[in-house]
Structures are given as C-alpha cells and as structure tokens.
Amino acid sequence: MKVLLTCMECLQENGSRDFRPVVVTVNDERFFKMTCPNGHQSLTIIQQPKHEVLFELGMNALVDGYPREAVTSFASCLENFYEFCISQVSLDKGVDRASLDAGWKYMAKQSERQLGAFVMLWLNYFGSAPTLLSDKSRGFRNRVVHQAYIPGLDETLAFGDDIVACVSSNLRDMKHHLGDGLDAIFTSEFIARASSQNQRVTTQSIPTTIDWAGLIQNETVNLRTRLEDIKKDKVIFQWPKF
C-alpha cells in the first residue's frame, strides 16, 4: 500500500502551489526516509495508530480485488486495536512501561489471552464489558483464516462493517470515561514512536477509513463509498504499483 506524504521544505518554499506528494510504501514502523521530487530529504512518521493502517490495507486489498486478504487485514486490525487499548489505557492509568512489557510477553503470541485481557481491562477501568465481534463475524473470519474459504465482496464488506462498529463503540466508550485523556493517548502513542528514533523527525497525518477522531463523533463510515474514494486517489496521483 502506498502512502502520500508532503515535503515540508517544499511546502514552506512554495505553499500548496505545484504540490506533488511524496509516495512511500507503508511499513511496520510507519516511519519513512523520504526524498521529494525536488531532492529534499526528510524523516517522517505518520501519526495514525497501527490498527487504522491495517484496516486501510484491507480496503486497498478490496480495491485491488482481493477480499480474502482484506479479511485477514481487517481481523488483524481488530486484534491490534485490542493491543493498543490494553497498552495505552494501562499506561494512562499509571502502569509503568517495564511492567507492561513484562506482562505483555505472557500474551503476545496468543490472541485469546489478549482478548481476555481486553475484556478485563474494560471491566476494571470502565465497569462494563466491551463490545466484541459478533459470533457470525468470528465464524466468518475463522472460515477464511483457518479453513481456506475464499470470500466474496459483499460478505467481506459486512465483516468490515462489524469491525468498524466494534472499534467505534469501544472508542466512544473510552471517550465517555477518559474525556480529553483519549486525545492524549493517541498523541502520546505517535510522539513515543517519533522519540524512539533519536533523530529529528516530522510527523504527518494521513486520511484513514476508521480515523478515531471521526468515529468518536459518530461520523458515518460507508465502506463502498470509501472504496470509490481510494480508487480515485489512485487515478489522481497516478498511484504507482509494483
């Protein structure tokens, strides 16, 4: 998946005139060494949390005609969202990083343990059970991931809708209990990634389908409309493929 970024030096010199995006390939760290069309070099981190990028990978897989790959990315998105919540809410509540890392290693490789930790996190801090994926969607995911089922577009979009509903419901729950603390959680997550580079980096935001700020404001997410938008992006920017 390609990501379009801005060269800040070009922006300062020319404003938005003659804007040409820098096209980079998404990676696990969401950290990019960029050289713009005018030769400026810079280091950039995108602010979006990993689960938003994973969902976007799924949307791009659908645009390219691969529903099966979309299902696995959507499923990874939700598991990573659980991990994000476990880590960031724990840190926000005063757990230190070393203790968190020591505890996480007991569940890092087992998604069912992470799911249990996520449920207990909600019960302990928010006093209620979180919203989880429906049984129908869990069954669908398992057929795709474990039984080699090749899904169609409509059922993959329905699965994506369920993922969106699950993430947005829990985010609104967090906003209700944490208030502005939720904004601080998202900000501190990408600042920590930027700081870990030990060099001067810029941070930029990219548009995503499940942008957290939109979800907590109850913005409607229409996956079919979003697929058309992603197709148009590819045409407008002559999105390269390889």
Binding site for Zn ion (CB under 5 A): 7, 9-10, 36, 38, 40
CB of 153 to Zn ion, least distance (A): 39
Closest to Zn ion by CB, 36 or 78: 36
Closest to Zn ion by CB, 35 or 197: 35
- Contact between residue 59 and residue 226 where contact means Cβ atoms under 8 Å apart: yes
Closest to Zn ion by CB, 6 or 88: 6
CB of 44 to Zn ion, least distance (A): 12
Which of 160, 163, 173 has the alpha carbon at shortest distance from 216?
173
Distance CA(242)–CA(66), nearest Å, equals 16
Distance CA(196)–CA(173), nearest Å, equals 30
Closest to Zn ion by CB, 10 or 54: 10
CB of 20 to Zn ion, least distance (A): 8
Closest to Zn ion by CB, 7 or 174: 7
Closest to Zn ion by CB, 3 or 7: 7
CB of 199 to Zn ion, least distance (A): 18
Kindly report the backbone phi and psi dihedral angles of residue 92, in degrees, each rounded to the nearest multiple of 5, phi listed first: -60, -30
Residue 42 β-bridge partners: 34
CB of 236 to Zn ion, least distance (A): 19
| Amino acid letter, residue 23 | V
CB of 202 to Zn ion, least distance (A): 12
